């Protein structure tokens, strides 16, 4: 964060003009900010610098006056390359400004009206102060003196030949170095990182990204690369606050409650009519009395523990792989859901990932771990469901449950048989419900959209453009109800509200992840589609999954 200038501002009336045309304004502001020295240049001296820049651009220079509070210090800070006539006029205007300061004060008190100018909009002192306040409240930018030192220390003919610089970052708070690569990109990047640490310590982070608007690929293969520089406090995520810990704990308690409610709802065949109406009638808002639910709490806990265990295994998978990659993760924010027990959890990266391989591995680890545990529960539950010795532990569920997933419906049909599935209700073990909910949640979290695990994996394996295309297709399929059936709407809203933005780039956001990781990501997305694709009526009737009534 910047600091306010130490000099005292005089109450003077001055005009602050911006050159008409978008490109000139940006270049003017960038050059003036690069030549500013807080505590030495006042606002009026800064005006002189702006006028000098305009003179070079337009070969005109008229009536520039400098009211300096530093008695002419840093007059040599005027941009190098400015013509000698413009410099002389700047110095002359500084001398004349001291003589005319009193008259300017008189004019400021007499007239509050600013004359119009054909050059562009005229800003008063209040608007200029507002611009300065916005700049001070924004992210801290790279120090120009550090940029000069970094250019001298890092780049050269043998590593990366620098040709130009551009703003870098979401708010243009960094510097993007564009040039020609002179070696293997991974080796050059490692060398530049070491030199940056030796020169600046831990003050900055260096990113290797694809060159924007490049004319063609690199002659050595792959895309052309550039190097972005950001301050560490700007580029790295902030620490977890006490408020976030409280919110995470509250959401976890609510998720436990939603898992218990799912366990109670699984016993719908033996619940009282008031409770059944609450779970089946969407118009009923008031929950039933707790006295009616207490007798079924004990039998609901095993299913609640199973569903919650899948979510915890999902997060453990993320943290184990992140620890091996030396990446930091934040606390998980579990999102409760009555239908499945939980939407999963929102887990943020608390450090910048080293490369795209780490992004793919960490993102895939959670869904794979949760899906492995869920599938084990699902298969064990199907075995118990067909075992007569476990008849006392079975619960009765509507057969339409198995029509919600093409893949899981086919597996259930193969395990339980035509007779058991072709009826209005089916007797199954609670582990089947736990496995079903866990697999469905893992599949939804692997959707290739936004900041979901699937979106991160696709972004790491194929790049941001592939994520945009897959995200658009996912939104269309969710909007049409082609994925997840009745769960499409709540999941679509969940993604739009909580997980729609893509993940930030890695330090090395260029190197490929390899064919193996790309194949695993494609296979996982394919399994996700078959898991969330519901059975259509014709196929359900042919397979005997439920009683399909046609009119």
Nearest-angstrom CA–CA distance, 318 and 380? 25
pLDDT of residue 52: 54
SS3 call for 231: strand
Nearest-angstrom CA–CA distance, 318 and 364? 8
Query: Burial, 310: exposed, middle or buried (Cβ in 10 Å; 0-12, 13-18, 19+)?
Result: buried
pLDDT of residue 551: 42
Joined together, the tokens standing for residue 244 give: 């976030």
| pLDDT tens-digit readout, 431-461 | 999 999 999 999 999 999 989 999 999 999 9
Using alpha carbons, select from 318, 317, 274 the residue that is nearest to residue 296: 274
Where in the chain are the domains?
139-235, 242-543
Residues 535/529, Cβ–Cβ less than 8 Å: no
pLDDT of residue 106: 39
Helix boundaries (H) for 266-392: 273-280, 290-293, 297-324, 356-385
Residue 61 backbone dihedrals phi, psi, to 5 degrees: -155, 115
Nearest-angstrom CA–CA distance, 217 and 275? 64
Residues 444/453, Cβ–Cβ less than 8 Å: no
Residue 408 backbone dihedrals phi, psi, to 5 degrees: -70, -30
Q: Which residue has the tokens 């057969």?
A: 399
Local mean pLDDT, 10-residue blocks, the chain (551 residues) = 40 40 48 46 54 50 40 42 44 47 42 42 55 54 87 89 89 89 91 92 91 83 90 85 93 92 80 73 71 78 90 95 92 89 89 93 95 94 84 80 89 88 85 92 93 93 91 89 83 83 88 93 95 87 73 42
Joined together, the tokens standing for residue 531 give: 């898991």
**DSSP code of 380?**
H
Q: In what order do the strands lie in the sheet with 160-168?
A: 160-168, 174-181, 225-231, 204-210
Residues 467/458, Cβ–Cβ less than 8 Å: yes
pLDDT of residue 81: 42
Using alpha carbons, select from 103, 514, 441 the residue that is nearest to residue 255: 441
pLDDT of residue 76: 43
Q: Which residue has the tokens 């599935």?
A: 421
């Amino acid at each position: 964060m910047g600091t306010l200038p130490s000099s005292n501002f005089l109450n003077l009336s001055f005009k602050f003009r911006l050159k008409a045309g978008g490109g000139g304004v940006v270049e003017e502001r960038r050059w003036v900010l690069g030549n500013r020295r807080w505590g030495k240049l006042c606002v009026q001296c800064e005006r002189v610098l702006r006028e000098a820049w305009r003179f070079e651009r337009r070969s005109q220079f008229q009536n520039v006056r400098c009211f300096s509070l530093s008695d002419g210090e840093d007059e040599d800070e005027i941009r190098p390359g400015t013509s000698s006539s413009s410099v002389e006029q700047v110095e002359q205007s500084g001398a004349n400004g001291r003589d005319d300061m009193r008259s300017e004060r008189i004019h400021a008190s007499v007239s509050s009206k600013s004359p119009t100018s054909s050059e562009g909009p005229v800003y008063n002192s209040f608007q200029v102060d507002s611009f300065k306040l916005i700049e001070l409240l924004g992210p801290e930018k790279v120090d120009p003196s550090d940029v000069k030192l970094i250019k001298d220390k890092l780049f050269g003919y043998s590593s990366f030949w620098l040709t130009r610089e551009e703003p870098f970052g979401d708010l243009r708070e960094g510097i993007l170095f564009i040039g020609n690569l002179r070696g293997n990109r991974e080796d050059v990047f490692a060398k530049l990182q070491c030199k940056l640490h030796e020169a600046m310590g831990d003050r900055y982070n260096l990113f290797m990204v694809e060159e924007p608007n490049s004319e063609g690929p690199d002659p050595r293969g792959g895309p052309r690369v550039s190097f972005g520089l950001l301050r560490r406090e700007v580029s790295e995520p902030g620490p977890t606050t006490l408020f976030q810990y409280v919110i995470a704990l509250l959401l976890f308690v609510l998720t436990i409650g939603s898992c218990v409610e799912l366990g109670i709802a699984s016993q719908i065949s033996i619940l009282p009519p008031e409770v059944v109406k609450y779970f089946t009638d969407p118009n009923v808002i008031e929950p039933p009395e707790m006295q009616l639910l207490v007798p079924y709490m004990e039998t609901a806990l095993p299913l609640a523990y199973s569903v919650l265990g899948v979510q915890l295994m999902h997060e453990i998978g993320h943290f184990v792989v992140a620890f091996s990659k030396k990446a930091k993760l934040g606390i998980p924010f579990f999102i409760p859901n009555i239908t499945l027990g939980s939407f999963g959890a929102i887990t943020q990266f608390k450090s910048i990932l080293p490369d795209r391989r780490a992004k793919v591995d960490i993102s895939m680890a959670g869904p794979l771990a949760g899906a492995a545990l869920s599938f084990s529960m699902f298969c064990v539950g199907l075995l118990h469901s067909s075992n007569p010795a476990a008849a006392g532990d079975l619960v009765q569920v509507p057969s339409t449950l198995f029509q919600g997933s093409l893949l899981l419906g086919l597996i259930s049909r193969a395990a339980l048989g035509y007779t058991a599935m072709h009826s209005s209700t089916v007797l199954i073990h609670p582990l089947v419900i736990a496995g079903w909910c866990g697999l469905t949640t893992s599949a939804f979290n692997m959707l290739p959209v936004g900041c979901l695990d699937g979106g991160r994996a696709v972004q790491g394996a194929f790049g941001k453009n592939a994520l945009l295309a897959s995200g658009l297709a996912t939104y269309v399929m969710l909007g049409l109800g082609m994925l997840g059936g009745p769960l499409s709407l709540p999941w679509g809203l969940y993604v739009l509200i909580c997980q729609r933005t893509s993940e930030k780039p890695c330090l090395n956001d260029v190197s490929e992840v390899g064919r193996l990781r790309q194949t695993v990501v494609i296979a996982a997305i394919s399994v996700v589609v078959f898991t969330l694709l519901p059975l259509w009526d014709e196929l359900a009737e042919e397979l005997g999954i439920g009683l399909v009534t046609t009119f």
